[in-house]
Amino acid sequence: MRRTLRRRPLLALALLPPGRAAAEPAPLVAAAADLSFALEEIAARFRAETGLALRLSFGSSGNIARQIEQGSPVELFLSADEAYVVRLQAGGHTRDGGALYAIGRIALFAPHGSPIRVEAGLQGVAEALSAGRIRRFAIANPEHAPYGRAAMQALRNAGLWEAIRPHLVFGENVAQAAQFALAGGSQGGIVAYSLVLAPALQGRGQHMLLPDSLHDPLRQRMVLTRRAGGAAERFHAFLQEPQAREILRRHGFALPGE
């Protein structure tokens, strides 16, 4: 036992409320990248109230689902697309069908100095594209990132997909797409609304919320896996309480039932 504690002191000792023996490691919570800022805040509030810490991991929903199928020790999965939860349930990897926790939105973002008229929405993208002023435009990879699929659908519905394809740069997830939209030489991108509201992007460009009629609904569902323990169960319940929902709302998510 002494040898184990020497190798993993923080993991073994920092996870349960004061005065309790370390009985289990902090649960691994894997979440879609659009939750990067909102979930950090919720987890901090959860720990302040319960003394329970969490290990948070962010990525594309498709990649996380595949890792769970391959045996990743994820206890709670927050997907940006409920279809991945349905798939995991069908494969016997989850306790049940999970719970809808948010509806995501996408936004056009352009850094300062971009030729895109953000206030004109995708028409502004079309104008800059026609003028040959877009060289790089970022979205998440549509193959495994729900926000990338929503961005692709929006561009298709605006009649811009074929023209803009040669200029696209794909982020592995929507958070990386937001970084690419800010990178030197980029004229902007379509990313999660929750990310353009975050401090990391505030003051670094302009954004416009895009109509949700341009893409399929981003129905975001969470689910406990077969590996879930008591701490993951408590966090799953906490995410459905008013204070957690208010944080999600403040970060730009629409909430189920409202």
Judge whether 189 and 58 are in contact, CB under 8 Å.
Answer: no
- Same domain, yes or no: 54 and 94: yes
Looking at the structure, do residues 224 and 98 belong to the same domain, yes or no? yes
Rounded Cα distance, 31 and 112, in Å = 30
Residues 202 and 138 in one domain: yes
Instruction: Give residue 18's pLDDT.
Output: 45
Q: What are phi and psi of 208, to 5 degrees?
A: -145, 125
Q: What is the pLDDT of residue 220?
A: 98
Spatial separation of the C-alpha atoms in residues 140 and 146, rounded to whole Å? 8
Query: Based on the domain organization, do 112 and 203 belong to the same domain?
Result: yes
Cα separation, 85 vs 93, whole angstroms:
9
In a shared domain, residues 142 and 169: yes
Q: Are 113 and 227 in contact (CB under 8 A)?
A: no
Q: Would the pLDDT of 84 be above 70?
A: yes
pLDDT class of 11 with cuts at 50, 70, 90: very low
Examine the domain organization and report whether 118 and 163 are in the same domain: yes
Is 34 among the domain residues? Answer: yes
Q: What does the pLDDT look like over 95-136, one tens digit per residue?
A: 999 999 999 999 999 999 999 999 999 999 999 999 999 999
| Percent of the chain predicted with pLDDT > 90 | 85
Domain that holds residue 121: 106-209
pLDDT at res. 16? 37
Q: Which pLDDT score is estimated for 197?
A: 93
The total of structural domains in the chain comes to 2
In this prediction, residues 194-223 reach a mean pLDDT of: 93
Cα 57 to Cα 86: distance, rounded to the nearest angstrom: 21
Per cent of the chain over pLDDT 70 is 91
In this structure, the answer to whether residues 11 and 67 fall within a common structural domain is yes
Is there a domain that residue 258 lies in? no
**pLDDT at position 199 over 50:** yes
Q: Verify that 133 and 202 share a domain, yes or no.
A: yes
Give 164 or 4, the one with higher predicted confidence. Answer: 164
Note the pLDDT of residue 23: 58
| Cβ atoms 180, 140 nearer than 8 A | no
Q: Is residue 255 part of a domain?
A: no
Element (H or E) spanning 157, and its range? helix 146-157
CA dist 179 and 136 (Å) reads 12
Q: How confident is the model at residue 184 (pLDDT cuts 50, 70, 90)?
A: confident
**pLDDT score of 14:** 36
How high does pLDDT run on average in the chain?
91
The residue among 139, 82, 107 whose CA lies nearest residue 252 is 107
How many Å apart are CA 119 and CA 110, to the nearest integer?
A: 10
- 228-249 in b/e burial notation, b at 16+ Cβ within 10 A? beebbeebbebbeeeebbebbe
* Cα dihedral 190, 191, 194, 196 in deg (nearest 10): -70
Spatial CB neighbours of 8, under 8 Å, sequence gap ≥ 6: none
Q: Is 7 or 80 the better-scoring residue by pLDDT? A: 80
- Which residues, 6 or more positions from 185, have their beta carbon under 8 angstroms from its beta carbon? 135, 136
Distance CA 193, CA 220 (A): 14
The answer as to whether 32 is a domain residue is yes
pLDDT interval class at 200 (50, 70, 90): confident
Whether residue 257 is contained in a domain is answered as no
CATH number for the domain including 110? 3.40.190.10
What does the pLDDT look like over 210-219, one tens digit per residue?
999 999 999 9
Q: Residues 6-30: what's their mean pLDDT?
A: 53
